[in-house]
Amino acid sequence: MATAPAPHDPLEPLPLVVGAPDDHTINESLFQYVWKPTGRGWWTVFLISVAGVCWFLTAVVVTISKGIGTWGNNIPVAWAYGIINLVWWIGIGHAGTLISAILLLFQQKWRTSINRFAEAMTLFAVLCAAMYPALHLGRPWFAFWLFPYPSPTRMWPQFKSPLTWDVFAISTYFTVSLLFWYLGLIPDLAALRDASKKKLQRVAYGVMALGWRGSGRHWHDYRLAYLLLAGLSTPLVLSVHSIISWDFATSILPGWHTTIFPPYFVAGAVFSGFAMVLSLIIPARKFMKFEHVVTQKHIDNMCKVMLATGLVVAYGYLMEHFMAWYGGNQYEAFVFRNRRGGPYAPVFWTMIFCNVVVPQIFWTRRARYNLVIVWIASVLINLGMWTERFVIIVTSLHRDFMPSKWEMYYPTWVDWSLYGGTISFFLMCFLLFLRFLPAVAASEIKELRAEMVHDQGAH
Amino acid sequence: MTRQTWVLGEFATPQGMLGAVRHLRRLGYKNLDTYSPYPVEGSSEALGLPRSRVALFVLVGGLVGATLGYLLQYFCNVYDFPINIGGRPPHSPPTFIPITFEVGVLLGAFSAFFGVMALMRLPKPYHPVFEVEAFRRASIDRFWVSIAFAPAEFEKKHAAEELSRLGALQVATVVQDPASIQVYK
Amino acid sequence: MSSLDPTGPDVPIARLRARPERRLWRSLEELARGTAPAGPEFPPGASAPPEPSRRDFLQLLGASAALAGLAGCVREPPEKILPYTRRPEDVAPGNPLHYATAYALDGIATGLLVTSYEGRPTKIEGNPDHPSSRGAAGVFEQALLLSLYDPARARAIRYRGAGRSWRAFLEYAAEAVDLHRKDGGAGLCFLGEPDASPLMADLHERVLRALPAARFFSYAPLAEDAAYEGARLAFGRPLQTRVDFSRARVVVSLDADFLGGGPDRLRAAREFASRRVPESELSRLYVVESALSLTGAMADHRVRMRSSEVVQFALGLALELSPQLQGGPHTQLTATRPLHVMARDLLANQGRSVVVAGARQPPLVHALAHAINAALGNADRTVAYAAPTLPDMAAGPAALAPLVADMRSGRVETLVITAPNPAYTAPADLDFGSALGKVPHAIYHGLYEDETAAQCAWFVPATHSLESWGDARAWDGTVSIVQPLIAPLFAGVTHAELWAAFVGEGDRGAHALVQDYWRRQPGRPDFDAFWEEALHDGVVRGSATRTESVTPRWADIAAAAAAAAAKPTSGGGIELNFLPDSKVYDGRFANNAWLQELPDPITKITWDNALLLSPTTAGRLGVESADLVEVTLRGRSLAAPVFVLPGHADDVASIALGYGRTGLNEELAQGVGANAYLVRPSDAPWFAPGASVRKIGRRARFAITQDHFTMEGRPLALVATPRELRQHPERIEEQRAALPTLYDPVPYPSYRWAMSIDLSRCIGCSACVVACQAENNIPVVGKERVARGREMHWLRIDRYFSGPSALDPEVVFQPVACQHCENAPCEYVCPVNATAHSDEGLNEMVYNRCVGTRYCSNNCPYKVRRFNFFDYVGQRTQPERMLQNPEVSIRSRGVMEKCTYCVQRIERARIDARVAGRTIREGEIQTACQQTCPTRAIVFGSLHDERAEVARLHADERRYDLLHELGTRPRTAYLVRLRNPNPELS
């Protein structure tokens, strides 16, 4: 955290906290929705998402009782929606860690109002992602065979397989994100405990706060631990999507077997992650009256980040196709010709439009400051990143080395249900989070405000 | 458990709190602590705390994790049950790196989290200072200073006076008997 | 237990024993109805099997659970049958025995060797001692097993739908004979299929002796009458033509698909293939045909033309080659360039060439072929003639007409039908079905209660070939005794028994009938020795008919030729071609799931037939593949989906017979494909002009296993001419040369299993695919799942079209199964070690360990891995379970599977070797695909012994690795397909 704040904050003139509310008002304003009775709007959306989760469970039951045959997969397209959605969700998760950890290390103060929000998003996204590796197995009930546990057969996992790496990467990522998130929550939970009027709330939050007293001796260790967790999460988040990308890069398939994948996947992940943060926070800040802490400035910054990462992704596409041509490998060349002009070309061009064309509007200030445009763009980008994974996975598989075994892939209703289902699950978790937990890191806002007051005092 | 006493003083600003702590230390008070809704710059120095040991925990945890991660893979695929997998050598360090790294990070994170919990002696849902109703604002918008006394050197009058003299909005004393616990204003 | 005694407890055992010669029992249904006369229709010992082993007992339990009718049958038939192995005392649970028998298709037998586990036939191979098999088996023979266990087979003798006993039928038959005796049997007709069985011929005579006026008809929709008529025209009497392709340097096929069809196709394929490798003097094949056949696919030069134009082509060829025919009024013939070149090539190879005419062609074409062969001096060298093995009796659709006329006019009182399902296979214009309705006493004998059964008063279930006693003759006349592998699973009698019923011997049993017949034959001093040897070997030595040298009657041929030449080429419109189907033949195999799901070698269509059109014609008609069209010929029309086939002749539409079944009980066959018999004219059964094709507007959905025809210029199935091979060996070299690697080579101390597949030999017949399916318990998944790309065949045959034009493509077949790569990409991506390498170089799949991530399939560049998307094993019916190979584990839902190089055979050989205290010998192991391959294209063995044939082939100059540049180091090597085009034409 800013030990010596920069003499001139680069993020001026726009304020990160509108007005100069004192700590009490901050507390009030950030926690009020926890005390207020649940609104009708919340209930509507919540029930819709619960319905979606039931739908999801139906599809899960069908998949497990009947078999993967209920999906659209075939040989050669043995992977499809399952893996597409896995990669998509993991990617979305990345923005949270990036905002809370990397921007923390870079001392980007503006992160404070959105990091809690983004971290929660990470957790739920990773939860959604983690369902697919289990579901897409032919025999899900043996999923535990992917973990190294001593068994009489002495059969161990095969550690050369990227899938085994995934198991470790995703579980580590989830655990660390959870710890990081919870550690950050503790002071706010304490604040909730102390601000709560009702006994039940006080007990509940009291338990969650673990008896935090805001002691200076605690802050002393706490701040370092928090910083170190951020330090650990930063390489972790980069490693996770690199490993996901190795699921493809270590194979020999044309269109998968390429060294550009790790950076290109990570950039894509951040890209889609910020898009998801925006598509969630724009409505949220309105309904929950956060405009004074999640200001236009934050949205502006996030748009810029999307523009930057979007350009990296675009560069990735460009290089893929350039290399396919320049490398002179006929299989590679064909796969990319097939992406541009093959049966799945519409998906490919949708991807290009959403991920390359759309972000360009963020060059203009007007677009960045028009919430409607930003929201639509961010949703389009989420869609675009999903189509990117579809393009990478399906088009490479459906026409690979042996023309004799080329097949088309068509999703079934189960495929769609599982996708829609995880979105509902994500939404449900998120609504619960917004309802019962501090969606904005109050203590950090207070600290930030204190610094700003101090700075203004300085000049 | 023997009798213990805390004298608490409330301040409106972090500066006031820090000033009080510095003064009390100059007066030779031990067992001082501050309470604030957010980390206050300079409180560690004011309390004269040594460098935190969390960093060491994380370093050790990370290294141990990485080593275990590598050994695990070596044991499973090379030592205990080597199989010819696609003509690759059983011991192939490059493919062992990702998991080595992940396990390292995992144990590093564990040691950071549980290490700091241990240092803070948390979770500890109850603490005598919570007996002071006003202390609830310590997590919201007030800044508190506490002095803890072992029974032997208990001179509560002076401590309380010192605090009020230093501009404490209010002063409270928590006395904990083996049997009971009282709060004096 | 009921399974041992289907009559139930109320039948005293003593009565079962009373009449031991009776070998039949009737179905459960009757038992249920209680209409069953008591016991004596049960095989001897049906009530008490000879020392049932524990395994028998369990099988009985299992079978009886679902289907008590089957239960009693999991046993050898009661009579003595002889195992093929030299030491019958070998019988031990778990050790299979091999029995020699034979299967006759359209009357011509192929020798079989059947593997049997405790009386359960589980696998069929060719009999190495049999002249037309030589150890090979085709798709039909391989698939026999499944139809044996087909639950849809008829189970009861019925009279007007009601169950009857065999005795009841015998009494009925006796009465019928008495009735007919009055007029010498004038009202009695027998409709059988062409049959070379000496026993049947004998019964035929005995019936005639009793009822001289009785008439015998023979019908087979695919009968080769024209060939015999051609011989009659050329030589004055019907003769069969025997071609020795292993001696022919130049082969000209006039619409003859001698590789894909024909009675002697297995031998022909083998001899032909023996001349397609550089070790021998490479032969050259010219094919003249309309629809692309397997033979056409192997051609070095293929000329597309309407089937009706072939006669003109033959005429032209004959004129250039046989001086004896010159001087006729043939001047208006416009001979094409390929014709001249062919003629020159043939002239240059007199005595070393052969011209073969196809059964679909009219007699004149055959006669001309004979004439040309005679003129070239090929007779008695590459081609020989002999008295027909089949009785001299017309059997084509035309032959059916007089019978149908009599049926209509009511002159037929009793009709005994043993021909398979004529009501379905008869040409529509005969309307056999309705004629059958006019026959008061129609008796139908068949495997299924099918379309014909529905029209007949009596239905008598037939025994399956593997359940029957009998005899049969190979194409060259060699006799085989047909011995059953298993007592009839369902009620059933053989042809012989049925006919014998009309000479009062219906109750003697097929075994007695056939044994008596052969006992009566002279020149067999020690009958028992002869009998045992015949059963043991599967052939009667020296029973082949002699060939004879004959001279053509030039005048007759010339006259016929002149007549034909004078006649203008047949009329306009689209010419409709009727083809025998590569899978269901004439429709008799329509209920066989293995065959239905087998991709057609040329179109790769499963579970369907299609109207084949050339790209040009399709373009002209404005239709594309999968468009439904209405084909109309002479007022009869038929709806069928179009398939646009490169290499097909223009203005011709071809459709395979045998689909569109409406059979009541054959659920599998129902509604599959379109029934071409509905438009087949009896006077032009093979091709007819003047058809019209109209687009309906709806579309069909094909289940095609290979949608993409071309190789995209990738080095997959390599083809070269001998010259290219000589001039540019490096082009092959670079497809096998060792690639740089960072890894230390893995040592393989002992055996190094490997395979080689010679594309020059492979004719794409697909027998290996069915063999693999039978050997490895591979499930059938059905049309929908095949269409989704989920077929389970471990071995597939890729068919690629190449060459400059899609109108005249060059075709190459490439069997692809697991390549057992030494650096297998599938292995290192599996997270649970479910696929790994054995120390003998096998890429092993551990089903029990597989969790089904399917990553291995993604990373397999050959896409040979198959996934159990559903629980296929659970869907098998009780009888189907009986055919499972006990040495191959079945795969549960959600696991990967793939070719194992028939590891179970390797292990059996290892056990035998270990018992004998030696190592596994070269040639001791044959994979299922290798064993059945008619052309010996597949070779398996261990590379560690450099004298092994597989080692030699791996070192061959033509050897290359599939997708070599990937560095997977496959253990399966391919040998470049050689083409031998005529320099004058290329």
pLDDT tens for C708-764 read 889 988 999 999 999 999 999 999 999 999 898 888 889 999 999 999 999 999 999
Q: Is B88 on the interface with A (CB under 8 A)?
A: yes
The tens digit of pLDDT for each residue in A260-275 reads 999 999 999 999 999 9
How much of chain A, in percent, has pLDDT values that exceed 90? Answer: 64
Which value, in Å, is the radius of gyration of the alpha carbons in chain C?
28
Q: What are phi and psi of C463, to 5 degrees?
A: -80, 150
Query: Is the pLDDT at C69 greater than 70, yes or no?
Result: no
C668 pLDDT band, cuts 50/70/90, is: confident
Contact A3, A107 (CB under 8 A): no
pLDDT > 50? residue A193: yes
Confidence of residue C39 (pLDDT cuts 50, 70, 90): very low
Q: What does the pLDDT average to over A33-37?
A: 79
Is A157's CB within 8 Å of B76's CB?
yes
* Chain C residues near residue A412 by CB distance under 8 angstroms: none
Give C268's pLDDT tier (boundaries 50, 70, 90). Answer: very high
What pLDDT, on the 0 to 100 scale, is given for residue C79?
Answer: 66
Cis omega before residue A13 (within 30°)? Answer: yes
**Residue in C with minimal Cα distance to A410:** C788
Residue C663 has pLDDT above 80, yes or no: no
Which residue on chain B is closest to A179 by alpha carbon?
B113
> Do A191 and B139 count as a contact with CB atoms less than 8 A apart?
yes
Which of C711, C829, C899 has the highest number of chain A CBs within 10 A, making it the mutation to test binding with A?
Answer: C829
Residue C64 in this model has a pLDDT that exceeds 50: no
- Mean local confidence (pLDDT), B51-66: 94
DSSP annotation string for C782-803: -HHHHHTT----SSEEEEEEES
Model confidence pLDDT, tens digit, residues A218-256: 999 999 999 999 999 999 999 999 999 999 999 999 999
The per-residue pLDDT of chain C, averaged, comes to 86
Q: Do A156 and B81 form a contact (C-beta atoms < 8 A)?
A: yes
Whether residue C132 contacts residue C144, with contact meaning beta carbons closer than 8 Å, is answered with no
Average pLDDT over residues B88-112: 94
Residue type, A451: E
C966 — contact with chain B (CB < 8 Å)?
no
A379-393, B124-138, C254-268: which range is least confident on average?
Answer: B124-138
Using a CB-CB distance cutoff of 8 angstroms, which residues of chain C are in contact with residue A253? Answer: 858-859, 861
Question: Residue C68: pLDDT band by 50, 70, 90 thresholds?
Answer: very low
Look at chain A and count its residues: 459
pLDDT value of position A16: 66
| Most B-contacting residue of C744, C752, C833 (CB-CB within 10 A), to test interface | C833
Percent of chain A with pLDDT over 70: 94
The mean-pLDDT minimum among A377-381, C313-317, C618-622, C812-816 falls in C313-317
pLDDT at residue number C84: 57
Q: How confident is the model at residue C329 (pLDDT cuts 50, 70, 90)?
A: low
Q: Please report which confidence band the pLDDT of residue C263 belongs to, taking 50, 70 and 90 as the band edges.
A: confident
**What DSSP letter does each residue of C695-753 carry, written as one string?**
EEEEE---EES------TT-SSS-EE-HHHHHH-HHHHHTTTSPPP-SSPPPP--S--E
Q: Under an 8 A CB cutoff, do A75 and C857 touch?
A: yes
Q: How do the residues of chain A divide into helix, strand and coil, expressed in percent and rounded to 5?
A: 75, 0, 25
Q: Note the pLDDT of residue B134.
A: 85
Q: Which residue has the higher pLDDT, A334 or A445?
A: A334
Distance from the Cα of C861 to chain A's closest Cα (Å) equals 6
Greatest Cα pair distance, chain C, in angstroms, is: 92
β-sheet bridge partners, residue B170: B10
Show residues of chain B in contact with A187, CB under 8 Å: 37-38, 139
Poorest-pLDDT segment among A380-384, C285-289, C651-655, C710-714: C710-714
Q: Which residues of B touch A216 (CB under 8 A)?
A: 33-36, 40, 43-44, 46-47, 49
pLDDT 10s digits, C588-602: 999 999 999 999 999
Could you give the C-alpha distances from C21 to A249, C345, C502, C861, C921, in angstroms and in order?
72, 63, 18, 60, 46
pLDDT one-digit tens code per residue, C568-577: 665 678 999 9
| Contacting residues of B for C821, CB less than 8 Å apart | 86
**Structure tokens of A418?**
């599982």
Asked if B89's CB is within 8 angstroms of C837's CB, the reply is no
Q: Do C269 and C235 meet the contact criterion of CB atoms below 8 Å apart?
A: no
Name residues 108-127 of chain A within 8 A of C (Cβ): none
Across the interface, whether the CB atoms of B112 and A229 are under 8 A apart is answered: yes
Six token digits for residue C967 = 């560095």
- Provide the percentage of residues in chain C whose pLDDT is more than 90: 60
* pLDDT score recorded for residue C184: 86
| Per-residue pLDDT at C97 | 84
Which residue type is seen at A161? S
Query: What residues of chain C lie within 8 A of the CB of B83, using their CB?
Result: 833, 836-837
User: Inter-chain contact B139–A212, Cβ cutoff 8 Å?
Assistant: yes
Q: What percent of chain C has pLDDT over 70?
A: 89
What's the pLDDT at C10? Answer: 38
- Provide mean pLDDT across the span C118-147: 91
Nearest Cα to Cα of residue A293 among A117, A11, A30: A30
The partner residues of C460 in beta bridges, in order of sequence, read C445
User: What is residue C972's predicted lDDT score, i.e. its pLDDT?
Assistant: 95
Contact C837 B87 (CB under 8 A): yes
**Residue burial A223-232, b: 16+ Cβ < 10 Å; e: rest:** bbbbbbbbbb
| Residue C654's pLDDT band (cuts 50, 70, 90) | very high
pLDDT of res. A11: 45
Residue C13's pLDDT band, with cuts at 50, 70 and 90, is very low
Instruction: Give pLDDT tens digits for A399-441.
Output: 999 999 999 999 999 999 999 999 999 999 999 998 888 888 8
Query: Which residue reads 């060996």 in tokens?
Result: C729
Q: C93: pLDDT confidence band, cut at 50, 70 and 90?
A: low
Sign of CA dihedral B6, B11, B17, B19: negative
Work out whether strand C441-446 and strand C414-417 pair parallel, antiparallel, or are unpaired. parallel
CA distance A25 to chain B (A): 9
Sign of CA dihedral C39, C44, C49, C55: negative
Amino acid letter, residue C620:
R
CB-based contacts of A127, cutoff 8 Å, min separation 6: A174, A425, A426, A429
Please indicate whether, in this complex, the C-beta atoms of B35 and A216 are within 8 angstroms of each other: yes
Mean pLDDT over all residues of chain B? 87
Search chain B and give the residue with CA nearest A205.
B125
pLDDT at B1 over 60: no
Using CA atoms, how far apart are residues B33 and B174, in angstroms rounded to an integer?
14
Q: pLDDT at position C41, please? A: 37
Could you identify the residue written with the tokens 């920069």?
A6
For residue range C414-452, what is the model confidence (pLDDT) as tens digits? Answer: 999 999 999 999 998 888 988 998 888 899 999 999 889
For residue C740, CA distances in Å to A33, A250, C440, C967, C968 come to 67, 19, 80, 9, 12
pLDDT of residue C489: 85
**Mean pLDDT throughout C524-530?**
87
pLDDT exceeds cutoff 90 at C37? no
Q: What is the pLDDT of residue C9?
A: 37
The mean pLDDT of C374-380, rounded to a whole number, is 90
Inter-residue contact A149 to B83 (CB < 8 Å): no
Give the minimum alpha-carbon distance from B15 to chain A in angstroms, rounded to a whole number. Answer: 11
DSSP-assigned letters across all residues of A296-329: HHHHHHHHHHHHHHHHHHHHHHHHHHHHHHHH--
Residues of A in contact with B52 (CB under 8 A): 220-221, 224-225
Structure tokens at C336: 């094409």
- What pLDDT, on a 0 to 100 scale, did the predictor assign at position C878? 72
Is the model's pLDDT at A372 over the cut of 50? yes
Sign of the dihedral defined by the CA atoms of residues C628, A77, A138, A50, in that order:
negative
Per-residue pLDDT band at C63 (split at 50, 70, 90): very low
The whole-number pLDDT of residue A17 equals 67
Per-residue pLDDT at C570: 59
Q: Which pLDDT score is estimated for C284?
A: 94
Is the pTM for the entire model greater than 0.90? Answer: no
> Which pair of structure tokens corresponds to residue C804?
């400059």
How many CB atoms are closer than 10 A to CB C279? 9
**Cβ partners under 8 Å of residue B157, min gap 6:** none
Q: How far is A112 from chain B (nearest CA, A)?
A: 13
Alpha-carbon gap, residue C693 to C632, rounded angstroms: 6
Predicted confidence (pLDDT) at residue C616 exceeds the cutoff of 80 = yes
- Local confidence band at B137 (pLDDT 50, 70, 90 cut-offs): confident
